[in-house]
Amino acid sequence: MKTKIAVFVSGGGTNLQALIDFQNAGGLKDGEIVLVVSSSPTAYALERAAKAGIASVTVSKKECGSQAEFEERIVSALDQAGVEMIVLAGFMSILSENFTKRYENRIINVHPSLIPSFCGKGMYGLKVHEAALSYGVKVTGATVHFVNEIPDGGKIIMQRAVEILDGDTPEVLQKRVMEQAEWDILPKAAQAVAKALREEKN
């Protein structure tokens, strides 16, 4: 049995698309995306899931009275779908230690820098690329890591370096990091973790 995967999203879902494309090309040999969880009802990622025939659920933090209720609703959806592994792909809500402990070594995230640079609380999206450019580093990249209670604090699974070019804006750099690093290493790391979990079961 393949490892059942849920992908958590909040926006456009480009990393979700990379995972779907990788799955369709036969790369996700040991895993299967069975559910997309969105924190926003208007996330374009939901359209991508629908087009790929993947079930989705929206759990909005605003509609939940507390972090605990927000996470309970997510856990309930995951349990119903039999999810064993979670991929955070641009998910903009922080998950509590209760949640991350429940899925220890089963949640992975992609971060748009070479951790430990430009990471941690408040470092997401364009802010990461702005920080890299203002610091003047010549190389950046992306990191896939396990998720624990510390933002960007879990064990590193895979990294890919990306060169910074003269005249880069945060937007241009963001696109290059996605194309050259994130969209490649996130699916590969997902397969590696799914394989390890599948072997554990057998």
Residue 111 falls in the annotated catalytic set: yes
Supply the DSSP string of 89-142, one letter for each residue. SS--SPPPHHHHHHTTT-EEEEESS-TTSS-STT--THHHHHHHHHHT-SEEEE
d(CA 53, CA 140): 35
User: Measured between alpha carbons, how far is residue 200 from residues 47, 60, 95, 114, 194 in Å?
Assistant: 33, 33, 25, 29, 10
d(CA 183, CA 170): 18
Q: Which of 4, 73, 106, 111 is catalytic?
A: 111
Contact 41, 11 (CB under 8 A): no
Contact 8, 40 (CB under 8 A): no
Catalytic residues: 111
